[in-house]
Chain A
Amino acid sequence: MKNKQLALVIDLNVCVGCHACVTSCKEWNTQGSAGPLTDLHAYGENPTGTFFNRVQTYETGSFPNTQTIHFPKSCLHCEEPPCVPVCPTGASYKRAEDGIVLVDYDKCIGCKYCSWACPYGARELDEERQVMTKCTLCVDRIYSETLPEAERKPACVMACPTSARIFGDVHDPESEASKTIANRGGYALMPEWETIPANHYLPRSITETIAAVKEEN
């Protein structure tokens, strides 16, 4: 069996777009080992800042048969990360032991090349620190020896009120993450670029559920 590959599985059926994962991610990571994630013009007209995780909203179908889809997006910790080999300094790397893609902020020269080489726009340059930042899968939480064991999960997973985020080893067929991907048709984003994202998304099955309920009644 291959090495461990930690990842998130995100359930698009239950994400309600509350942005709790966005704020908890920022809250943890701006004071964690990765931080600070600086904000510019926080009280100005166009506040902007560094985030590891964003929640976007999409609409499908045509009226009146439309659906709203909330779509959290963070680094997908690709198994073939195109951002890593292009880094000239070796600041971007993928950990052999758990597959997390990280940036060494002390080596990053801020050339932004890795962000060009990521088709997902998962990397954000911190404007104040001038280094590239990205989701760390809360590497400083999940291996923490001081946090209670139940809290050794990424901050976004802890915060999600609808349990839309499942964290686990996608190379271990017995993990909840792997089982969910297998049973519920978990898929990867932009498979056409063969980056093999570790993070997976669960397809919407709400319409099928409604149809099934209607049939029962």
Chain B
Amino acid sequence: MQPNFSLVFFTTLAGMAQGLIFFIATLKLIGNALPNDFLGFLALPFGIVLLGLSLIASFFHLGHPERAWRAAHMWRTSWLSREVIVLPLFMAAAALAWFFSITNQSNNLIWPILILLSIALWVCTAQIYQCIRFIQEWAHPLTMVNFIALGLTSGWLLLGSLLLFWPDTILQPSFQLICHLGILLLFVCLTIKLTIWKRNKNLRPKSTLNSAIGIRQVSIRQTSMGLMGGSFNTREFFHNQTETVLSNLRKIIFFGAYLIPILLLIYAAQSSSYGLIPAVLLIHYCGLMSERWMFFAEANHPQNLYYQRIS
């Protein structure tokens, strides 16, 4: 597939905001460790702005953004439609939590709702890709596991970075926890990604040119796709990058999204240099965008069988 930057930004920014809000809500539920001021004046507004930015980014992949409201119609069958409903609900619940925080009200119901909605949004986003059964790279539960794990990780690193900018000494001891859980999450994410890459490498395409044309048992090749100047089919479903670019990008993902952040967090935890956490987040996010770009580029669409040779 041709990676689309609006979707790269949407899925990574929304995923990070979901992770942030998921951990805020979890921490509030288990121990009420985070002060209301931190939530009301920094963390929740930051999460809501990120969700808003992701929403704006998502509009850029629409041909008719002014009709986007129609997309809530087919929630019975379409995961995209469900996502369009869950995202504003999630934003509204986050805004409500923000309102409770700045007015110092305690409402214990809002946190489980936020946890549920953040998970629901991950499920919807991942299912959009996972439910297309003939894109074999996507049609696997690991797609969803990967989206959730990376969202949690980037959200956790964001929470750590935001805590660093909050002048409250009570929160200082928590940075060891930020580093340790961060390392664990990154390690889990790396394991998932390596499993996915291994699976993709061993995939055998179910569709072949023989099944696409219906001519069996003989060698068959295309001599003309029937057009010379390109079409939607040649633009939307091919990434047009060389193997060298892809393999270099895989290295960038491996180091940027996973390995360097892990090593930096280990160093930060050892030497108590927690100022590194925002840098870790920044490097991880750059790697994450490459990972998402690659997620689209790695998907082989069976329609490509019909578009192999111009003439």
Q: Which residues of A contact B (CB under 8 A)?
A: 19, 22, 41, 45-51, 54-62, 68-69, 71, 73, 82, 84-91, 107-113, 115-121, 123-125, 127, 129-131, 187-193, 201, 203-204
Contacts and interface: CB of A to CB of B under 8 A. Distances in A.
Contacts of B84: 88
A121 B237 contact: yes
A129 B228 CA distance: 22
Interface of B: 1, 61-65, 67-68, 70-74, 77-81, 84, 128, 131-135, 206-207, 209, 211-215, 218-233, 236-237, 301-304, 306-307
A204 B216 CA distance: 11
B231 A193 contact: no
B230 A48 contact: yes
B71 A204 contact: no
A116 B132 contact: yes
Contacts of A88: 70-74, 78, 80-81, 84
Contacts of A19: 226
A118 B207 CA distance: 13
B230 A56 contact: no
Given A58-B222, A90-B74, A110-B63, A120 B229 contact: no
A118 B233 CA distance: 11
A189 B214 contact: yes
Contact of B63 (A22, A130, A187): A130
Contact of B214 (A112, A123, A201): A201
B206 A107 contact: no
Contact of B68 (A60, A109, A201): A109
A109 B134 contact: no
The 10 closest A-B pairs by CB, nearest first: A110-B63, A130-B63, A121-B303, A85-B77, A88-B81, A88-B71, A89-B70, A46-B229, A57-B224, A124-B232
Given A115-B236, A119-B134, A189 B77 contact: no
A129 B67 CA distance: 13
Contact of A89 (B61, B74, B209, B304): B74
A86 B306 contact: no
A130 B218 contact: no
Given A107-B70, A121-B307, A190 B211 contact: yes
A192 B210 CA distance: 12
B215 A204 contact: yes
Contacts of B219: 60-62
Contacts of B74: 85, 87-90
B264 to A, nearest CB: 37
A189 B210 CA distance: 9
Contacts of A85: 74, 77-78
Contact of A108 (B63, B81, B215, B228): B63
Given A86-B78, A125-B232, A193-B302, 11 more contacts: A48-B227, A48-B230, A49-B231, A59-B221, A69-B213, A109-B71, A110-B62, A112-B61, A112-B63, A121-B307, A190-B212
